[in-house]
Structure 1
Amino acid sequence: MFDFFSHPQNVLHLSSRVLGTGLALLLAGIYGAYLYNGHLPIVALVSMHAMTIIGPTLLKVGYVMRLLAQHRLSKPVARALA
């Protein structure tokens, strides 16, 4: 698993997925918790409110992952002297 995170290109692709998931959770949570006018069971309503918290959290984590991956991609690769 650590081998996956040692390659910045893999982290960059994962950050895109995390950002997309966070955005989808946030938008679905906002719609279900605040904009939907129908009746929802309490479990669904609590889930929608939780998604309005989890979504932005994933956005922040994905953004930091993207920044770190881009920073690592911009550095020159250290070459071993042989």
Structure 2
Amino acid sequence: MFEFFNNPQNVLNLSSRVLGAGLALLLAGIYGAYLYGGHVPIVALVMMHAMTIVGPTLLKIGYVMRLLAQHRLSKGLVRAVT
């Protein structure tokens, strides 16, 4: 698993997926929790509100991963894994 994170290109690709998932969760949570006018079971409503917390968290994690990967790519810190 550590070999995966030693390659900054892998981390950059993963960060793009994490950013996309975070954005999707945030938008779905906002729509379901605040914009949808129909009746929703309480469990689904709680999950939608939780998505408005988890979504931005994933956005922040993905953004930091992206910054670190771009920094490592620009500095040429790629090392051979032995």
- Which TM-score bucket, shorter chain as reference? over 0.9
Deviates more, 1:70-79 or 1:46-55: 70-79
Structure 1 or 2, whichever has the larger Rg, is 1
Question: Where in structure 2 are there 5+ consecutive unaligned residues?
Answer: none
Query: For this pair of structures, how many residues does the alignment match?
Result: 79
Aligned twin of 1:68:
68
Q: Which runs of 4+ in 1 moved over 3 A?
A: none
RMSD: 1.3
Q: Distance in 2 between matches of 1:77 and 1:14?
A: 18
Distance 1:78 1:53, change over 3 A: closer
Corresponding residue number in structure 1 for 2:18: 18
The 1:68/1:38 distance shift into structure 2, 3 A limit, reads same
Structure 1 spans left out of the alignment, 5+ residues: none
Q: Secondary structure at the match of 1:15?
A: helix
1:78: Cα distance to partner? 7.2
Task: Return the alpha-carbon distance in structure 1 between the equivalents of residues 47 and 5 of structure 2.
Answer: 31
Amino acid in structure 2 at the alignment position of 1:25:
L
Following TM superposition, by how much is the alpha carbon of 1:76 offset from its aligned partner in structure 2, in angstroms? 2.7
Per the normalisation by structure 2, the TM-score is 0.93
Structure 1 counterpart of 2:32: 32
Letter in 1 for 2:35: L
